[in-house]
């Protein structure tokens, strides 16, 4: 049986060009980038080349790139590094109800530390109103954190306008750009953000490498302690092979990203049109909003998402449900309930996220499998439909 992967927002395979760039760092140039001998200096050169590649991709300066272990650490460094470092006696953070757990979890911890947090709601299309951000401001607001693109819906937030609101209020602006990088153009100068989180494994580099853009002059403290690596922002021996891999992924995107985004949007639109035309009771979540070109969140009335994920997997297609499984209990996605979906409709949502592995033939095969699976599930579980 052929197997096809439609879950690129979860992670991506390592691309050939990234693997080739990374391999020598595991075999020959294996030195510690902090060592002053030949091997160390070779590693340092590779590290700084990768830093320049990342900076070029997002229109930053090389010294503004801090290499980390991934998007979660980048989000944590941004939030804790700014808020805990603030001299204000009372501190307030603004974020949204649809952020990734890396941000929402950090905000929950800040609340336990006495920081006030406002989670601004979003509209039915999954977009936050900048006016609501402005209305949430307080004299004590020190940070506004709003994701650039949502991981489930693909909806793109008005980050430039929100960053302007933050700066007018004297607050720092952070955006989680993990799901935006590689899918839409990212220009931190045009966006005006002070901090921007990214990770490698969403753009065909290995897991375990990420970065945080820290605009020059932004006051941010470390949240880990040890050596003086990464300009005192993140101690610990640098993951040079991971950074080189991330840099190679960035170089590919600089050359090919725009064309690939257009190709993926064509495939995504082809898929959505076919599903909506052939599957009764299907609807696209956030379909009227600006979205990343590869992401589609579709609700299927009368279907449990996890059952459909399994049914498609048995047919050779990897997709993701709109629900989170924890301790054996399936909970509706906080993103989908935040845009107004009922718990049942949220549980009946599937996320399709396309990538470099996918072709038009695979999309057509996915639609055929989906039509068959939905029909079968509705026949064997008609009671579920009544509750949707």
Cα 358 from Cα 273, distance rounded (Å):
17
**Residue whose tokens read 């949007």:** 265
Give the chain's length.
388
Distances (CA, A) of 104 to 32, 73, 249, 289: 35, 13, 28, 23
Residue closest to 211 by CA, chosen among 342, 202, 329, 92: 202
Tokens 């439909």 -> residue: 385
| Spatial separation of the C-alpha atoms in residues 137 and 128, rounded to whole Å | 15
User: Could you give the angle at which helices 101-112 and 71-83 cross, rounded to 10 degrees?
Assistant: 30
According to DSSP, residue 155 is labeled B
Distance CA 129, CA 157 (A): 9
The β-bridge partners of 318 are 5
Distance CA 231, CA 322 (A): 39
Point out the catalytic residue in the list 325, 330, 360, 381: 325
Q: Which residues pair with 299 in a beta bridge?
A: 283, 349
Q: Is 107 a catalytic residue?
A: no
d(CA 267, CA 161): 30
Q: Which residues, in sequence order, are bridge partners of residue 351?
A: 297, 320
What's the Cα-to-Cα distance from 222 to each of 77, 80, 225, 229, rounded to whole Å? 7, 8, 7, 11
* H or E segment to which residue 143 belongs: strand 141-145
Cα–Cα separations (whole angstroms), residue 164 to 25, 130, 167, 178, 194: 41, 10, 5, 21, 11
User: Do the beta carbons of residue 31 and residue 42 sit within 8 Å?
Assistant: yes
Instruction: Say if residues 212 and 195 touch (Cβ distance below 8 Å).
Output: yes
Q: Strand order in 320-321's β-sheet?
A: 282-284, 295-300, 349-353, 320-321
Q: Which residues are designated catalytic?
A: 325
């Amino acid at each position: 049986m052929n197997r096809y992967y439609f879950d690129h927002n979860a992670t991506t395979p390592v691309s050939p060009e990234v693997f080739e760039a990374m391999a020598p760092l595991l075999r020959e140039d294996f030195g510690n980038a902090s060592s002053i001998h030949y091997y160390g200096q070779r590693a340092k050169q590779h590290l700084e080349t990768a830093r320049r590649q990342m900076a070029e991709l997002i229109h930053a300066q090389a010294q503004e790139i801090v290499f980390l272990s991934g998007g979660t650490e980048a989000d944590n460094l941004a939030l804790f590094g700014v808020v805990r470092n603030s001299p204000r006696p009372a501190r307030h953070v603004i974020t949204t109800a649809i952020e990734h757990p890396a941000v929402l979890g950090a905000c929950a911890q800040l609340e336990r530390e006495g920081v006030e947090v406002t989670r601004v709601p979003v509209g039915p299309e999954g977009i936050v109103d900048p006016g609501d951000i402005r209305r949430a401001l307080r004299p004590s607001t020190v940070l506004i954190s709003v994701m650039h693109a949502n991981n489930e819906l693909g909806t793109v937030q008005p980050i430039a306008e929100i960053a302007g609101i933050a700066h007018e209020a004297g607050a720092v602006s952070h955006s989680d750009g993990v799901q935006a990088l590689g899918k839409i153009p990212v220009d931190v100068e045009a966006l005006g953000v002070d901090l921007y989180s990214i990770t490698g494994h969403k753009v065909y580099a290995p897991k375990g490498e990420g970065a945080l853009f820290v605009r020059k002059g932004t006051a941010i403290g470390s949240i880990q302690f040890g050596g003086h690596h990464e300009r005192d922002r993140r101690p610990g021996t640098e993951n040079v092979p991971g950074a080189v891999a991330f840099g190679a992924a960035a170089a590919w995107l600089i050359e090919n990203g725009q064309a690939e985004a257009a190709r993926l949007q064509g495939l995504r639109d082809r898929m959505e049109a076919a599903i909506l035309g052939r599957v009764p009771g299907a609807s696209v979540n956030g379909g009227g909003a600006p979205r990343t070109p590869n992401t589609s969140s579709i609700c299927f009335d009368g279907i449990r998402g996890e059952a459909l994920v399994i049914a498609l997997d048995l047919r050779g297609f990897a997709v993701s449900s709109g629900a989170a499984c924890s301790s054996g209990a399936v909970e509706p996605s906080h993103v989908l309930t935040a845009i107004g979906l009922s718990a049942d409709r949220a549980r009946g949502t599937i996320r399709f996220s396309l990538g470099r592995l996918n072709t038009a033939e695979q999309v057509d095969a996915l639609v055929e499998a989906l039509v068959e699976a939905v029909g079968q599930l509705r026949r064997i579980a008609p009671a579920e439909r009544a509750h949707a």
